[in-house]
Amino acid sequence: MNSVKKQREEAIEYKQHKKEIEQERREREQRLKQLEREQVERERHEMIKANEDEVREHNNYLEVIQSVHKSYSDQMDWEE
């Protein structure tokens, strides 16, 4: 009888150990998914910032081009 009791205890311990392993696996998968979401979000923000910088640079370029045509030097009398 002692042997049967020991086998039951080992079976219970084994089952508990498997349950813990499975729980740890699920937690690792959840953490990995969370890290992936965070990485995607960081990349998205970086892309938005790069796009904003590009737009700002282009707008500056347009302002420079327009200001060249707006800035006048002294009037020139071409007939003289």
Q: Is residue 33 part of a domain?
A: yes
Could you tell me if residue 10 is inside a domain?
Answer: no
pLDDT digits (tens, 9 = 90+) for 7-40: 999 999 999 999 999 999 999 999 999 999 999 9
In a domain, 64, yes or no: no
Residue 59 pLDDT exceeds 90:
yes
Cβ neighbours of 73 (radius 10 Å): 5
40 falls within a domain = yes
The secondary structure of the chain in percent helix, strand, coil, rounded to multiples of 5, reads: 85, 0, 15
Domain count, the chain: 1
Give a yes or no: residue 6 inside a domain: no
5 domain-assigned: no
Structural domain includes residue 45: yes
Q: How far apart are CA 2 and CA 18, in angstroms?
A: 24
Q: How confident is the model at residue 52 (pLDDT cuts 50, 70, 90)?
A: very high
φ/ψ (deg, to 5) at 76: -110, 130
Within a domain: residue 31? yes
Of the candidates 33, 66, 67, which has an alpha carbon nearest to the alpha carbon of residue 41? 33
Q: Which domain holds residue 42?
A: 27-56
